[in-house]
Amino acid sequence: MLDGKVAIITGGGTGIGAAIARLFARKGAHVVITSELAAEAMAPVVEAIRADGGSASAMSCDIMDRAAIAALVEGVERDHGRIDILIQSAGVCFAGPIETMEPRKIDLTFGVNVIGAISMIQAALPAMKRAGGGAIVNISSGAAVLGVNEMAVYAASKAAIAHFTRTLAPELRRTNIRINAIGPGSVRTQMLGFTGDELTEEQRAGMVRREARSISPYGNAMMEPDDIAELALFLASDAARALHGSFVLADQGISSAMLPPASQ
Protein backbone atom coordinates (compact mmCIF):
# COMPACT_ATOMS: atom_id res chain seq x y z
CA MET A 1 0.00 0.00 0.00
CA LEU A 2 2.88 2.37 0.80
CA ASP A 3 5.69 0.61 -1.04
CA GLY A 4 8.54 2.98 -1.85
CA LYS A 5 7.06 5.87 0.12
CA VAL A 6 9.04 7.89 2.66
CA ALA A 7 7.11 9.14 5.68
CA ILE A 8 8.11 11.60 8.38
CA ILE A 9 6.22 11.01 11.62
CA THR A 10 6.54 13.67 14.30
CA GLY A 11 6.01 12.45 17.83
CA GLY A 12 6.89 9.03 16.47
CA GLY A 13 8.70 7.77 19.54
CA THR A 14 5.62 7.04 21.63
CA GLY A 15 1.86 6.57 21.59
CA ILE A 16 -0.10 7.25 18.42
CA GLY A 17 2.99 8.30 16.48
CA ALA A 18 4.81 5.07 17.27
CA ALA A 19 1.77 3.01 16.29
CA ILE A 20 1.54 4.86 12.98
CA ALA A 21 5.25 4.29 12.35
CA ARG A 22 4.94 0.55 12.96
CA LEU A 23 1.90 0.21 10.70
CA PHE A 24 3.29 2.33 7.87
CA ALA A 25 6.52 0.32 7.90
CA ARG A 26 4.53 -2.92 7.68
CA LYS A 27 2.79 -1.46 4.64
CA GLY A 28 6.09 -0.82 2.86
CA ALA A 29 7.07 2.75 3.73
CA HIS A 30 10.40 3.86 5.09
CA VAL A 31 9.46 5.76 8.24
CA VAL A 32 11.52 8.52 9.78
CA ILE A 33 10.35 9.00 13.33
CA THR A 34 11.20 12.25 15.02
CA SER A 35 10.62 13.96 18.34
CA GLU A 36 12.49 16.17 20.75
CA LEU A 37 13.83 12.98 22.34
CA ALA A 38 17.36 11.89 21.56
CA ALA A 39 17.60 9.36 18.75
CA GLU A 40 18.65 6.75 21.31
CA ALA A 41 15.34 7.20 23.14
CA MET A 42 13.45 6.41 19.92
CA ALA A 43 15.64 3.37 19.23
CA PRO A 44 13.16 0.82 20.67
CA VAL A 45 10.56 1.80 18.07
CA VAL A 46 13.10 1.71 15.23
CA GLU A 47 14.48 -1.65 16.38
CA ALA A 48 11.00 -3.15 16.68
CA ILE A 49 10.16 -2.05 13.14
CA ARG A 50 13.39 -3.47 11.74
CA ALA A 51 12.90 -6.72 13.64
CA ASP A 52 9.51 -6.99 11.94
CA GLY A 53 11.15 -6.60 8.54
CA GLY A 54 10.40 -2.91 8.10
CA SER A 55 12.57 0.08 7.29
CA ALA A 56 12.93 2.90 9.81
CA SER A 57 15.26 5.56 11.14
CA ALA A 58 15.06 8.24 13.82
CA MET A 59 16.11 11.87 13.93
CA SER A 60 15.84 14.18 16.92
CA CYS A 61 14.10 17.48 16.19
CA ASP A 62 12.64 20.24 18.34
CA ILE A 63 9.44 21.12 16.49
CA MET A 64 9.60 24.66 17.92
CA ASP A 65 12.99 25.25 16.26
CA ARG A 66 12.56 26.20 12.60
CA ALA A 67 16.25 25.68 11.86
CA ALA A 68 16.07 22.17 13.30
CA ILE A 69 12.97 21.44 11.21
CA ALA A 70 14.74 22.63 8.05
CA ALA A 71 17.73 20.42 8.84
CA LEU A 72 15.42 17.44 9.42
CA VAL A 73 13.64 17.83 6.09
CA GLU A 74 16.91 18.41 4.22
CA GLY A 75 18.44 15.33 5.82
CA VAL A 76 15.50 13.07 5.03
CA GLU A 77 15.36 14.14 1.39
CA ARG A 78 19.14 13.81 1.05
CA ASP A 79 19.28 10.35 2.63
CA HIS A 80 16.11 8.86 1.14
CA GLY A 81 15.59 10.84 -2.05
CA ARG A 82 12.06 11.99 -1.38
CA ILE A 83 9.34 12.84 1.15
CA ASP A 84 5.86 11.52 0.36
CA ILE A 85 4.01 11.58 3.66
CA LEU A 86 4.02 13.86 6.69
CA ILE A 87 2.22 12.68 9.82
CA GLN A 88 1.97 15.29 12.57
CA SER A 89 1.53 13.44 15.84
CA ALA A 90 3.69 15.61 18.09
CA GLY A 91 1.65 17.35 20.75
CA VAL A 92 1.45 18.48 24.35
CA CYS A 93 -1.50 18.85 26.69
CA PHE A 94 -1.83 20.72 29.97
CA ALA A 95 -5.01 20.69 32.02
CA GLY A 96 -6.12 23.15 34.67
CA PRO A 97 -8.11 26.33 35.31
CA ILE A 98 -7.27 29.07 32.83
CA GLU A 99 -6.97 31.60 35.65
CA THR A 100 -3.98 29.83 37.15
CA MET A 101 -2.37 28.25 34.10
CA GLU A 102 1.26 29.29 33.75
CA PRO A 103 2.03 31.38 30.65
CA ARG A 104 4.84 29.00 29.70
CA LYS A 105 2.33 26.17 29.41
CA ILE A 106 0.08 28.23 27.17
CA ASP A 107 3.04 29.21 25.00
CA LEU A 108 4.29 25.62 24.81
CA THR A 109 0.85 24.27 23.88
CA PHE A 110 0.45 26.64 20.95
CA GLY A 111 4.15 26.46 20.10
CA VAL A 112 4.08 22.69 19.61
CA ASN A 113 0.49 21.98 18.60
CA VAL A 114 0.03 24.89 16.19
CA ILE A 115 3.18 26.84 15.28
CA GLY A 116 5.37 23.73 15.21
CA ALA A 117 2.92 21.86 13.00
CA ILE A 118 2.64 24.78 10.59
CA SER A 119 6.42 25.20 10.48
CA MET A 120 6.86 21.51 9.67
CA ILE A 121 4.44 21.79 6.76
CA GLN A 122 6.18 24.91 5.45
CA ALA A 123 9.50 23.08 5.44
CA ALA A 124 8.21 19.81 3.96
CA LEU A 125 6.09 21.19 1.11
CA PRO A 126 8.94 21.90 -1.35
CA ALA A 127 10.33 18.38 -0.94
CA MET A 128 6.86 16.84 -1.29
CA LYS A 129 6.30 18.83 -4.48
CA ARG A 130 9.60 17.55 -5.86
CA ALA A 131 8.39 14.01 -5.12
CA GLY A 132 5.29 14.65 -7.22
CA GLY A 133 2.85 15.09 -4.36
CA GLY A 134 1.84 13.21 -1.26
CA ALA A 135 -0.28 13.33 1.85
CA ILE A 136 -0.25 15.24 5.13
CA VAL A 137 -2.20 13.98 8.13
CA ASN A 138 -2.50 16.19 11.21
CA ILE A 139 -3.48 14.61 14.51
CA SER A 140 -5.91 17.06 16.06
CA SER A 141 -8.34 16.01 18.83
CA GLY A 142 -11.98 15.45 19.55
CA ALA A 143 -11.54 18.35 21.97
CA ALA A 144 -11.43 20.59 18.90
CA VAL A 145 -15.20 20.27 18.56
CA LEU A 146 -16.38 19.18 22.00
CA GLY A 147 -15.65 21.22 25.12
CA VAL A 148 -13.56 19.53 27.79
CA ASN A 149 -13.47 20.94 31.30
CA GLU A 150 -10.23 22.73 32.25
CA MET A 151 -8.66 22.03 28.84
CA ALA A 152 -9.56 25.25 27.04
CA VAL A 153 -6.01 26.00 25.87
CA TYR A 154 -5.41 22.49 24.55
CA ALA A 155 -8.82 22.41 22.85
CA ALA A 156 -8.20 25.79 21.22
CA SER A 157 -4.84 24.64 19.86
CA LYS A 158 -6.36 21.51 18.37
CA ALA A 159 -9.27 23.45 16.89
CA ALA A 160 -6.72 25.78 15.31
CA ILE A 161 -4.85 22.96 13.58
CA ALA A 162 -8.11 21.37 12.44
CA HIS A 163 -9.26 24.61 10.81
CA PHE A 164 -5.78 25.23 9.40
CA THR A 165 -6.05 21.82 7.73
CA ARG A 166 -9.40 22.66 6.17
CA THR A 167 -8.35 26.07 4.89
CA LEU A 168 -4.94 24.97 3.58
CA ALA A 169 -6.40 22.17 1.45
CA PRO A 170 -7.55 24.37 -1.46
CA GLU A 171 -4.18 26.12 -1.51
CA LEU A 172 -2.59 22.74 -2.22
CA ARG A 173 -5.07 21.66 -4.88
CA ARG A 174 -2.61 22.01 -7.78
CA THR A 175 0.31 20.34 -5.99
CA ASN A 176 -1.09 16.79 -5.78
CA ILE A 177 -0.67 17.06 -2.00
CA ARG A 178 -3.67 16.18 0.14
CA ILE A 179 -4.06 17.35 3.73
CA ASN A 180 -6.53 15.94 6.26
CA ALA A 181 -6.85 15.73 10.03
CA ILE A 182 -7.97 13.21 12.63
CA GLY A 183 -9.77 14.12 15.84
CA PRO A 184 -9.17 11.24 18.27
CA GLY A 185 -11.23 10.84 21.40
CA SER A 186 -9.80 9.04 24.43
CA VAL A 187 -6.79 6.98 23.40
CA ARG A 188 -4.69 4.98 25.84
CA THR A 189 -1.41 6.91 25.61
CA GLN A 190 0.91 8.79 27.93
CA MET A 191 -0.91 12.00 26.98
CA LEU A 192 -4.05 10.66 28.65
CA GLY A 193 -2.31 11.49 31.92
CA PHE A 194 -1.44 14.88 30.42
CA THR A 195 1.90 16.64 30.40
CA GLY A 196 3.58 17.73 33.57
CA ASP A 197 5.58 16.16 36.36
CA GLU A 198 3.42 18.00 38.90
CA LEU A 199 0.76 15.28 38.65
CA THR A 200 0.96 12.48 41.19
CA GLU A 201 0.38 8.87 40.20
CA GLU A 202 -2.94 9.03 42.06
CA GLN A 203 -4.01 12.07 40.02
CA ARG A 204 -3.01 10.40 36.78
CA ALA A 205 -4.92 7.26 37.73
CA GLY A 206 -7.97 9.38 38.55
CA MET A 207 -7.84 11.03 35.14
CA VAL A 208 -7.70 7.65 33.46
CA ARG A 209 -10.70 6.46 35.49
CA ARG A 210 -12.70 9.56 34.55
CA GLU A 211 -11.83 9.09 30.90
CA ALA A 212 -12.88 5.45 31.08
CA ARG A 213 -16.28 6.42 32.52
CA SER A 214 -16.83 8.87 29.66
CA ILE A 215 -16.16 6.29 26.97
CA SER A 216 -18.67 5.85 24.18
CA PRO A 217 -22.25 4.98 25.07
CA TYR A 218 -22.01 2.48 22.23
CA GLY A 219 -20.03 0.24 24.57
CA ASN A 220 -16.64 0.62 22.92
CA ALA A 221 -13.56 0.15 25.04
CA MET A 222 -11.03 2.95 25.26
CA MET A 223 -9.27 3.30 21.93
CA GLU A 224 -5.72 2.12 21.43
CA PRO A 225 -3.06 3.92 19.36
CA ASP A 226 -3.41 1.23 16.68
CA ASP A 227 -7.01 2.33 16.08
CA ILE A 228 -5.86 5.80 15.07
CA ALA A 229 -2.95 4.36 13.09
CA GLU A 230 -5.36 2.48 10.82
CA LEU A 231 -7.25 5.68 10.10
CA ALA A 232 -4.01 7.56 9.42
CA LEU A 233 -3.00 4.82 6.99
CA PHE A 234 -6.23 5.27 5.05
CA LEU A 235 -5.82 9.06 4.87
CA ALA A 236 -2.18 8.78 3.78
CA SER A 237 -2.94 6.21 1.09
CA ASP A 238 -4.36 6.56 -2.40
CA ALA A 239 -7.60 5.05 -1.08
CA ALA A 240 -8.39 8.50 0.36
CA ARG A 241 -7.64 10.36 -2.86
CA ALA A 242 -11.06 12.07 -2.74
CA LEU A 243 -10.50 13.55 0.72
CA HIS A 244 -9.13 17.09 0.97
CA GLY A 245 -9.33 19.24 4.10
CA SER A 246 -11.39 16.67 5.98
CA PHE A 247 -11.56 16.45 9.76
CA VAL A 248 -12.32 12.85 10.70
CA LEU A 249 -13.74 12.68 14.20
CA ALA A 250 -12.80 9.36 15.81
CA ASP A 251 -14.29 9.78 19.28
CA GLN A 252 -16.20 6.48 19.63
CA GLY A 253 -19.45 8.29 19.05
CA ILE A 254 -19.26 10.39 22.22
CA SER A 255 -20.17 13.60 20.39
CA SER A 256 -23.07 11.95 18.55
CA ALA A 257 -24.52 10.76 21.85
CA MET A 258 -24.95 14.40 22.88
CA LEU A 259 -27.84 14.57 20.41
CA PRO A 260 -31.39 13.79 21.61
CA PRO A 261 -32.92 10.48 20.51
CA ALA A 262 -34.71 10.61 17.16
CA SER A 263 -38.03 9.87 18.88
CA GLN A 264 -37.96 13.18 20.78
Judge whether 38 lies within some domain.
yes
Judge whether 123 lies within some domain.
yes
Per-residue confidence (pLDDT) for residue 53, from 0 to 100:
97
Q: How many CA atoms lie within 13 A of 231 on its CB side?
A: 22
CATH number at 82 reads 3.40.50.720
- Which member of 94, 110, 154, 247 is catalytic? 154
Q: What percent of the chain has pLDDT over 70?
A: 84
Per-residue confidence (pLDDT) for residue 197, from 0 to 100:
45
Judge whether 96 lies within some domain.
yes
- Contact criterion met (CB below 8 Å) for 115 and 66: no
- Confidence class of residue 202 from pLDDT cuts 50, 70 and 90? low
Judge whether 33 lies within some domain.
yes
Does 218 participate in catalysis according to the annotation? no
Mean pLDDT of the 41-50 span: 95
Judge whether 188 lies within some domain.
yes
Per-residue confidence (pLDDT) for residue 81, from 0 to 100:
98
Judge whether 75 lies within some domain.
yes
In this structure, the chain runs to a length of: 264
Chain mean pLDDT for the chain: 88
Per-residue confidence (pLDDT) for residue 189, from 0 to 100:
63
The residue segments making up the domain with residue 10 are 6-248
- Confidence class of residue 183 from pLDDT cuts 50, 70 and 90? very high
Tell me: pLDDT of 17 over 70. Answer: yes
pLDDT tens figures, 135-171:
999 999 988 998 778 889 999 999 999 999 999 999 9
Q: How many domains does the chain have?
A: 1
Judge whether 179 lies within some domain.
yes
Helices (H), the chain: 15-26, 43-51, 66-80, 103-110, 117-130, 152-168, 201-213, 225-236
- Contact criterion met (CB below 8 Å) for 165 and 117: no
Judge whether 259 lies within some domain.
no
